[in-house]
């Protein structure tokens, strides 16, 4: 396997794509500019010119090269078909990104890892009502074509154990400790029951399932509250604890390297012991509307509109069945390197994951399209004589959706190098989801982030900067801390200690992890004219 830090002196070939740039990555470019923009140099023997006017010219040049046509064309290519990690269609996106970098004549290479992934074989949910009727709930998503149904992986929870659960249903709200305390106060016991929870912002999917397991539940049905906006979408996702390949916890899953057995306690403790499945909002309401039993005042806002706040148990019974397979698959990270002129052994990294549960137009390819355009624009600057002061590494991660596996394995393999040489890691997952700017960072990068937002025109208004919108009196000016494990910055921050930024435009989007996360949805809802993708 080729080590990513050993190829900084080699070159490759390339093609220039049409012009583009997403809004969020425009900010990233500005930040990268702070770290890396340099002046032109006439020859290797001549010291770089120290001309502030020239530096300003290059900054303006690469900010002026954006185009909504190009960002939309990249995005359309990347979302032509679903590309779940570890599957054959995902290799098309590997080749697409790699070819793009090579055609720009960047030092390009791919790093492969073996990792344990999880796929569905069969899933079903049936509801058995007190009047003797039974309804088989369709897990097929509405609003997509028959071809899409065949192409897209069925809704499931990765790493859920195979098995069946048959029991009365209890609604547990968000599935938090305080929700179980409220149920207990109302005399409701979930032991031996199938619990139904709605996904919130406090607990992850795995957090909901592991806590339900600890409370004695035999199965979990999980739905997204905002699903009523989706027209039948179902949110897929992982329920594994932690990040990285579970068979190589703490070290990289390289070819020929050590790996644990699936039965090893260090591996098995990362997976829940009870089966779970995602449901559409519509199907969840069918079950919730049939519950009697306990009454929980705190849940009235959630259940009042459905059945007067009754949470069960039952009398409705549910039969939940899931059969899955865990298999070791090859995943592919793709890298492109621009060698720094003065400090080649100091790295600024830009990263975005490439894999998706379905088509992944917003998550993650709004960010991937931006990453490709960043590379294109840097290549154009280099033809004009520009060179970065420090080495820039473009990172296209695989298997993020299964638990940040691609980025974690690479960080584990290169931990010493990153700890000593990485200046910053700049992450974008879902670059454009809707209106409003949101950012997280480690404290070292706060000031830079603020300064950058003062330089960028707010795409939501006729005048003013992003900073003006972000810091307006009726808005919250808040740089979040990167303490979670919900994107590829996790290993850089928490394992390697690399200063990091994570940015996105739009807080949430209703087609998250569904088969409706398509290019068509972006054009129709998230950013019809791509004005959020292109700044000012």
Do residues 304 and 184 share a domain?
yes
Is 316 inside a domain boundary? yes
pTM strictly above 0.95: no
Do residues 441 and 393 share a domain?
yes
**How far out from the chain centre does Cα 211 lie?**
24
Catalytic residue among 400, 401, 409, 412: 400
Do residues 315 and 347 share a domain?
no
Is 490 inside a domain boundary? yes
Do residues 101 and 146 share a domain?
no
Task: Look at the chain and report how many structural domains it folds into.
Answer: 2
Q: Confidence class of residue 308 from pLDDT cuts 50, 70 and 90?
A: low
CA 442/CA 328 separation, integer angstroms: 34
Q: What is the mean pLDDT of the chain?
A: 85
Q: Count H helices and E strands in the chain, helices first.
A: 17, 17
Q: Confidence class of residue 62 from pLDDT cuts 50, 70 and 90?
A: low
Check whether 158 has a pLDDT greater than 70. yes
Is 33 inside a domain boundary? no
Check whether 46 has a pLDDT greater than 50. no
pLDDT of residue 53: 62
User: How many CA atoms within 13 Å lie on the side-chain side of 52?
Assistant: 0
Is 17 inside a domain boundary? no
Is 124 inside a domain boundary? no
Do residues 307 and 337 share a domain?
no
Tell me, yes or no, if 400 is annotated catalytic.
Answer: yes
Q: What is the pLDDT of residues 255-267, one digit of tens each?
A: 888 999 999 999 9
Comparing 45-59, 69-83, 320-334, 341-355, the range with the smallest average pLDDT is 45-59
CA 356/CA 78 separation, integer angstroms: 10
Do residues 373 and 497 share a domain?
yes
Do residues 448 and 424 share a domain?
yes
Q: What is the pLDDT of residues 478-513, one digit of tens each?
A: 788 998 888 999 999 999 999 999 988 777 788 899
pLDDT of residue 477: 60
pLDDT of residue 474: 59
**How far out from the chain centre does Cα 277 lie?**
20
Mention every residue, 6+ apart, whose C-beta is less than 8 A from residue 303.
171, 288, 296, 309, 310, 311
pLDDT of residue 531: 56
Do residues 265 and 371 share a domain?
no
Is 5 inside a domain boundary? no
Do residues 309 and 238 share a domain?
yes
Measured from the Cβ of residue 455, the count of other Cβ atoms closer than 10 Å reads 17
CA 27/CA 349 separation, integer angstroms: 14
Check whether 42 has a pLDDT greater than 50. no
pLDDT of residue 203: 92
Can you give the residue range of the structural domain that contains 321? 132-327
Asked if the peptide bond before residue 132 counts as cis, ω within 30 degrees of 0, the response is no
Mention every residue, 6+ apart, whose C-beta is less than 8 A from residue 458.
464, 465, 466, 468, 469
Is 31 inside a domain boundary? no
pLDDT of residue 509: 82
Q: 242 burial class (0-12, 13-18, 19+ CB within 10 angstroms)? A: middle
Residue 304 belongs to domain with CATH number: 3.50.30.30
Task: Provide the percentage of residues in the chain whose pLDDT is more than 90.
Answer: 60
Residue 454 vs residue 342, higher pLDDT? 342
User: What are the distances in angstroms from CA 462 to CA 68, 434, 470, 521?
Assistant: 18, 18, 15, 25
Check whether 8 has a pLDDT greater than 80. no
User: 397 with 491: CB under 8 angstroms?
Assistant: no
User: 324 with 343: CB under 8 angstroms?
Assistant: no
pLDDT of residue 343: 95
Do residues 283 and 333 share a domain?
no
Do residues 178 and 320 share a domain?
yes
**How far out from the chain centre does Cα 292 lie?**
38
**Residues written for the chain:** 536
| Token pair for 309 | 């706040």
pLDDT of residue 481: 92
């Amino acid at each position: 396997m080729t080590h990513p830090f050993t190829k900084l002196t080699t070159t490759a070939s390339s093609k220039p794509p049409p012009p583009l740039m997403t809004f969020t990555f425009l900010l990233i470019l500005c930040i990268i500019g702070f770290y890396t923009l340099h002046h032109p140099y006439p020859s290797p023997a001549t010291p770089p010119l120290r001309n502030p006017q020239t530096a300003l010219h290059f900054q303006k040049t690469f900010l002026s090269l954006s185009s909504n046509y190009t960002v939309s064309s990249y995005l359309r290519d990347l979302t032509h078909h679903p590309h779940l990690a570890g599957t054959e269609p995902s290799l098309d996106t590997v080749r697409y990104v790699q070819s793009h970098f090579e055609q720009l004549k960047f030092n390009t290479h791919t790093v492969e890892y073996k990792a344990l992934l999880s796929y569905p074989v069969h899933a079903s949910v049936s509801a058995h009502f007190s009047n003797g009727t039974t309804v088989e709930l369709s897990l097929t998503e509405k609003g997509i074509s028959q071809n899409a149904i065949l192409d897209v992986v069925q809704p499931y929870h990765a790493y859920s154990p195979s098995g069946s659960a048959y029991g009365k249903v209890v609604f547990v709200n968000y599935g938090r400790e305080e929700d179980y305390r409220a149920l207990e106060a109302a005399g409701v016991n979930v032991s031996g029951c199938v619990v139904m929870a709605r996904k919130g912002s406090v607990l992850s999917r795995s957090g909901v399932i592991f806590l339900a397991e600890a409370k004695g539940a035999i199965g979990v049905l999980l739905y997204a509250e905002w699903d009523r906006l989706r027209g039948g979408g179902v949110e897929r996702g992982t329920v594994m604890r932690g990040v990285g390949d579970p068979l190589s916890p703490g070290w990289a899953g390289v070819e020929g390297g050590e790996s644990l057995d699936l039965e090893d306690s260090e591996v098995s403790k990362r997976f829940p012991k009870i089966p779970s499945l995602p449901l559409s909002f519509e199907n969840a309401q069918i079950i919730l509307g049939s519950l009697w039993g306990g009454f929980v005042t705190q849940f009235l806002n959630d259940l009042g509109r459905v059945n007067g706040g009754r949470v069960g148990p039952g009398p409705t019974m549910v039969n939940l069945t899931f059969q899955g397979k865990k298999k070791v698959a090859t995943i592919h990270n793709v890298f492109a390197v621009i060698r720094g002129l003065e400090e080649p052994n100091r790295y600024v990294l830009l990263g975005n994951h490439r894999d998706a549960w379905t088509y992944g137009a917003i998550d993650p390819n709004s960010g991937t399209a931006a990453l490709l355009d960043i590379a294109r624009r840097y290549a154009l600057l280099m033809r004009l004589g520009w060179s970065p002061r420090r080495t820039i590494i473009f990172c296209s991660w695989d298997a993020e959706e299964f638990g940040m596996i691609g980025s974690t394995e690479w960080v584990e393999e290169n931990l010493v190098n990153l700890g000593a040489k990485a200046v910053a890691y700049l992450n974008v997952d879902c670059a454009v989801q809707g209106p409003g700017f949101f950012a997280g960072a480690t404290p070292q990068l706060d000031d830079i982030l603020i300064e950058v937002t003062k330089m960028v025109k707010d795409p939501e208004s006729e005048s003013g900067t992003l900073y003006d919108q972000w810091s307006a009196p009726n808005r919250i000016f808040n740089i979040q801390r990167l303490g979670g494990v919900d994107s590829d910055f996790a290993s850089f921050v928490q394992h390697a200690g690399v200063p990091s930024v994570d940015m996105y435009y739009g807080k949430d989007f209703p087609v998250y992890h569904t088969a409706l996360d398509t290019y068509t949805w972006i054009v129709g809802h998230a950013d019809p004219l791509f004005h959020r993708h292109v700044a000012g």
